Amino acid sequence: MALKKSSNKPADLSKHNLKIKKQIMPASKRPKRYRACIYGRSGVGKTRLAATAPRVLLIDVNDEGTDSVRNDIDPQTFYVHYWQEINDIYWFLESGDHDFLTVALDGVTSLQNLCMKFVLGDERSRDASRDPDMASRQIYGKVNELMKTQIINFRNLPMNVIFTALERKKATGDDEDEDIEIFSSPECSPGIAKTLEAAVGMIGYLSSTTVYGPRKEGQKKRPRVIRTRLQLGASERYLTKDRYGLMVPYIDHPNIEKILGDIYGQGGKTK
């Protein structure tokens, strides 16, 4: 039996077409919105980098990472200890009743853990016999869906959005040939990682290392300094992405406001 072809043609086509035409515009006229994911090992400076964004609200997800910026940059912060609170702060930002230009969700790895606790708690409340530490495929599916929804929600906010995450290292290659390489990417489950990677225009791997700075007059030895580097260019070792066309392999001592200036000009203004 052939399926009946359905039609959803608008009743008033002229009114419909006028509405669509108003939504068509050159890409250059679209709002300037910076979307980025910064990942790296714990303590490397992800929170500090996110805090350099203009008029930023740092959402500290049960990590106390804002201790690193309290004495100098001192950004506005919001602490999340329970899953419901991430929903609360999202709706506050979505309402527009604030003067923030940037929100930094710091970080995605901790948020996934918080979401897992929420889902396990909900499952346990329904079934007292369930082991709260044993996550089934169904539970992982719920966590993935909740996390993907929040990532997209924050991505769609009318402001700059920065996600931070811990680093995941994965061995790749042929074990028999001893041709094994280590590949780094944000630490979250595969389903969530795909959504996060697609949601942002920039993915950068942040690292820090001790190097020797230039020797000043009167100094016998070159001073040792900490170099922070944001890897952006294509790499076989790190997951990276640069949809904004900076076309640089990396940025030393990165600053988000300066990056925005390089992308958009006008002092990094995105509104």
Helix (H) or strand (E) holding 211: strand 202-212
d(C-alpha 56, C-alpha 52), whole Å: 8
Q: Where are the domains of the chain?
A: 31-268
d(C-alpha 221, C-alpha 63), whole Å: 38
Residue 257: per-residue pLDDT: 96
Which amino acid belongs to residue 234? A
**Local structure of 54: helix, strand or coil:** coil
Measured distance between the N- and C-terminal CA atoms of the chain, rounded to whole angstroms: 55
> What is the Cβ-side half-sphere exposure of residue 257, based on CA atoms within 13 angstroms?
10
Per the CB < 8 A criterion, the answer to whether 106 and 68 are in contact is no
d(C-alpha 84, C-alpha 91), whole Å: 11
> What's the CATH architecture for 31-268?
3-Layer(aba) Sandwich (3.40)
Residue 70: per-residue pLDDT: 85
d(C-alpha 21, C-alpha 271), whole Å: 23
d(C-alpha 107, C-alpha 206), whole Å: 14
- Averaged over successive runs of 10 residues, the pLDDT of the chain (271 residues) comes to 66 93 88 94 94 97 82 92 95 97 96 93 57 69 96 97 96 68 93 96 94 73 83 94 95 96 73 52
Distances (CA, A) of 54 to 47, 75, 244, 261: 14, 10, 18, 11
Residue 105: per-residue pLDDT: 97
Which amino acid belongs to residue 60? D
Instruction: Tell me the whole-structure pTM to 2 decimals.
Output: 0.84
The b/e string for 71-110 (b: 16+ C-beta within 10 A; e otherwise) is eeeebebbebeebebbeebbeebeeeeeebbbbbbbbbbb
Q: What angle do CA 187, 36, 197 make, to 5 degrees?
A: 50
> What is the Cβ-side half-sphere exposure of residue 196, based on CA atoms within 13 angstroms?
30
d(C-alpha 118, C-alpha 97), whole Å: 28
Other CB atoms within 10 Å distance of the CB of residue 219: 10
Per the CB < 8 A criterion, the answer to whether 103 and 55 are in contact is no
Per the CB < 8 A criterion, the answer to whether 207 and 129 are in contact is no
d(C-alpha 230, C-alpha 214), whole Å: 21
Bridge partner residues of 146 (DSSP): none
